Structure 1
């Protein structure tokens, strides 16, 4: 059956088939989708928190290491997507089976809707804190706007990203300029931190990675629109490390300069610096910045979730955008954004091993998998995912000085290669 390329006047999102070459987007368009995603306020927060807890140099090292790992991790998955045009769900079908993929895809597609709810709630909370506006009403109106943008599809995400990233630079740059009037940025390298050993280096790396572990693993939903694997990787570079570092280092630098009060809890949230002077122009900037910036991450997460669930239930992305968007807004209004740390802990343990299995199966062992017959379930993939997640959980509980995200990723990858080794030898003999 041929997939329609136009639906109700809007371009098809190709929920159930690879994106054909005729509909692939330019490098600029795909880059704008990814570039505007990590350069957000909620990515500045963990950057500032890590620096607050570890001090400047150790915090900087954790941020750089986490971004390097994310670059390699997401680029590998993106390259495959650019080659095949397949979404995350279609990628997962190859590795976990035509029925088994539903577990992996359903898990991540649900988690990202949670992030949509969190950031929608954070929009209301941020403007309530800044101006005393009704938190529930703001979250409701913002959530409806985010749903509308997501409904328009991948092009709308690229337009929003092209606005959100420069706006972040303007807002963060203004915050630095205002903070420099009363704080010495020349002394940031000697900032010792205020954590007192409460956060280990490994936990810091996990915290940075976990912020985008889910959508990073689902990168194929965005980079399948690239013309080829090379352009998919180039688009990814704009996100990891470039956009991600800009956001996290902005928060970290302001914390190290002593410009953010209560940084051990607020992290790199620099909006109070902008609202402090009570300048009407700055106040307008804050409102636009918060809505557009958090709107960028909300729309991207909702797109991931709607695309994944549309394939699971054999429906359309835009229908699931409405259904999941409404659910997400309701969850946001119930206060889900309060559970930020809990989300990070879950993601750090469970998500990277899943991505590691995909990388091992479709990239490292790609020659063997090329002619593999379809099957409903592939137990070896689930076993390797479980081993990686178990290793990450063990580290999380008894060896917090290590990064459970990194351990889960490495162990999951090695476990899959080890489990598949006998099959690989048999297939080649």
Structure 2
């Protein structure tokens, strides 16, 4: 498995593409994680169950449209995110977009490592440092195994999450009922509907923008979109919703901070269930962490002469250092950063791909300044919306402005009858 080609520097050829089930398993297992259950619980704590679920659904529908559009192009061409970015931002300009996102996802990897240590400490009293180190080793080895391992861990993590969440909710309903949960109106006031939608979008804006690293393995563009559907809205909504139900039934001791994290509900019921809960921590958080590290390693390997696996090892050590330094604890600020700076990147990519309508790039440039400028404009507007309009869905402002500015400033010269872009078009991108 570890010797399989990962196609860091070229499109995935048709002969290496994988089935819909395989690619869907990669994406399906990614959002089904404890972190999303926490966020779902926080949203429901502030909005109530019904309104909270509507906000979660709205955010997921935005993600499906956004990630699905990027996935279609990836499945049709076999290009990873960095190769896509070269088409839109230029062979040198792509470094800004691809390098930024490949670094940002290492922050998510660090967060999962830190969450592993703190979760094991809270539930079992383990030393958080050693829990984080153990998590880092396991998650890095999963990443080194490649895309096949991501599919396998996704197939395991998803049913395990659903089963244990159902068991936890069963234990949590000893003092309330699911009927009571439906009428739960929330007890917080720190989050409005728009802010909840923004959290859902920001939570997967980085890896969602880099979806091509996963969906380039699809056989067709339509297959890539179908694989995306399994993540957004299906898997992501379910993970958020289960966390929301945990809060609505009163199953969280501190819902304002811990949201719908349901692991404490699974401990204290015998050694067997506790052991399963510990295994669940590593499988579930490992699914998320390995996906993020894979994004980072593929991204940086595409920008350098290096291969994915050695980079995964180095980035894994770097992520562990960040986690042990406590960087992972600045989570709210992290989400704000993602919601402001990341979605405009994908908006520019989508606008460029729609403008070309499947045609290959005929004028390869080092920098496409209008694309870089549109990204900057979208980020500025999203930042202004975040600080001047608190509680607004600021990622949507950034997406709309970035796409609009790009379309208005695009003056690309096209040949009268440009050839359509081949599904496995070779890409020769100068290495910086």
TM class, shorter-chain normalised?
Answer: over 0.9
Q: 2:89 corresponds to which residue?
A: 96
Q: Give per-residue Cα distances to partners, 1:51-77, cap 9 Å, x unaligned.
A: 111122221111010000001111110
Task: Check whether the contact 2:370–2:409 (CA below 8 A) recurs between aligned residues.
Answer: yes
* C-alpha distance in 2 between matches for 1:241 and 1:281: 33
Are the equivalent residues in 2 in contact too, given 1:388–1:408 (CA < 8 A)? yes
CA distance in 2, matches of 1:379, 1:9: 39
Matched, 1:258 2:250: yes
CA change 1:183–1:360 in 2 (3 A) is same
Are the equivalent residues in 2 in contact too, given 1:98–1:375 (CA < 8 A)? Answer: yes
Pick the aligned partner of 1:177 from 170, 177, 193: 170
* Secondary structure of 1:11's aligned partner: coil
1:80 aligns with 2:84: no
Alignment deviations for residues 116-167 of structure 1 (CA, whole Å, 9 cap, x no partner): 0110111011001101111111111110111111101000110111101011
Q: Which residue of 2 aligns with 1:333?
A: 324
Structure 2 length normalisation: TM-score? 0.94
Greater than 2 Å deviation, 4+ residue runs: 367-372, 422-428
Tell me, in whole angstroms, the C-alpha distance in 2 between the residues paired with 1:423 and 1:319: 38
* 1:128 to 2:118 alignment: no
> What's the offset of the Cα at 1:399?
1.0
Report the alpha carbon displacement of residue 258 of structure 1 after superposing the two structures with TM. 1.6
- 1:187 counterpart = 2:177: no
Pairing of 1:173-252 with structure 2 (within 5 A): 173-196=166-189, 198-252=190-244
- Taking a change above 3 Å as real, the CA distance of residues 69 and 365 of structure 1, as seen in their structure-2 partners, is same
Does the aligned pair in 1 maintain the 2:109–2:319 contact within 8 Å? yes
- List gaps (5 residues or longer) in structure 1: 1-7
Does 1:142 pair with 2:135? yes
Partner of 1:67: 60
> 1:29-86 CA distances to partner (integer Å, 9 max, x unpaired)?
1111001000000111111111111122221111010000001111110010000000
- What are the residue-to-residue correspondences of 1:9-408 with 2, within 5 Å? 10-196=3-189, 198-275=190-267, 277-362=268-353, 364-367=354-357, 370-408=360-398
1:189 and 1:418 map into 2 onto residues whose CA distance is 46
Higher helix share: 1
Gap runs ≥5 in structure 2: 418-432
User: Helix, strand or coil for the counterpart of 1:225?
Assistant: coil
Q: Distance in 2 between matches of 1:213 and 1:107?
A: 13
Partner of 1:3: none
Contact 1:202 1:400 in 2 (8 A): no
Q: Distance in 2 between matches of 1:88 and 1:55?
A: 37
Report the Cα distance in structure 2 between the residues aligned to 1:33 and 1:75, rounded to whole angstroms: 15
Structure 1 counterpart of 2:404: 414
Supply the distance in 2 between the matched residues of 1:371 and 1:377 (Cα, whole angstroms). 13
Cα deviation for residue 401 of structure 1 reads 3.7
Q: Count residues in correspondence.
A: 417
